[in-house]
Amino acid sequence: MFELTGKKAVITGGGSGIGKAIAMLFAQRGAEVHLLDISEAACAQVAREIQEEGGRATAHACDVTRQADVHACLGEIGPLGILVNNVGIAHVGKADNTAEEDFDRVMSVNVKGAYNCLHAAIPLLKENGGGVILNMASVAAWVAVPERFAYSAAKGALMAMTLSVAKDYLQDGIRCNSISPGRVHTPFVDGFLAKNYPGREAEMFERLSQTQPIGRMARPDEVAALALYLCSEQASFITGSDYPIDGGFIKLNA
């Protein structure tokens, strides 16, 4: 079960964190993995790790906010079976203190970046006879998280895009779902804490961990396991759905 042998998978933000964990697991399960990341060095390192384990992986430096670059990159990859829209950035701020440039940056990466990948990948999925799209949403699309105005808006948009794509491409054999992680311990989180809470990293890490009723942050490999299921043939009856993986954050924090 949960084999991806013969599948070509594109994973954005594959150079670290959740994207890296998904890439590693997909390759272990037989997929030919293509890693897209703005950092060529980061995705190249992940590709090397996969190759050293006997897997197939190629790194691609790509800025997902530039549609021409995404089309060129995916055109080089060719017909594919899986797209994982994982790349994303965060921002701390309320509606009245979020600067325009910060709002635009979050929307450009998290929303336009996903759109650009969809725009380029869907014709390639059709050419392949169908496939799977998985978008990385967030619990912030479901519940109010303090001072995450731009981030919540972006992840809410991504969830709505998931429904739209799932509806529009049913007849093309394309399934589209999303995952909504709670807090996941990744280098992204460590950098976020260092930037926004300098000198208070340990305190804030513990505080954020405890917001999950289960009492800790998720591990990237736990999110990757859910991604593997949703992109496998065992999930062939699932489309247009979002799957929280949040340690009880949405349902048990009321």
Does the annotation count 115 as an active-site position? Answer: no
**Main-chain phi, psi angles of 138, to 5 degrees:** -170, 155
The Cα–Cα gap between 35 and 23 comes to 7
Q: Of these residues, 115, 151, 197, 229, which one is catalytic?
A: 151
The Cα–Cα gap between 101 and 147 comes to 17
Q: Residue 92 contacts by C-beta under 8 Å, 6 or more apart in sequence?
A: 147, 148, 196
- Calculate the CA 1 to chain-centre distance: 23
Residue 99, Cβ density class (10 Å: 0-12 exposed, 13-18 middle, ≥19 buried): exposed
Full strand arrangement of the beta sheet holding 32-37:
56-61, 32-37, 8-12, 82-85, 131-136, 174-181, 242-245
Q: Residue 157 contacts by C-beta under 8 Å, 6 or more apart in sequence?
A: 107, 110, 111
Would you please indicate which residues are annotated as catalytic (active-site) residues? 151
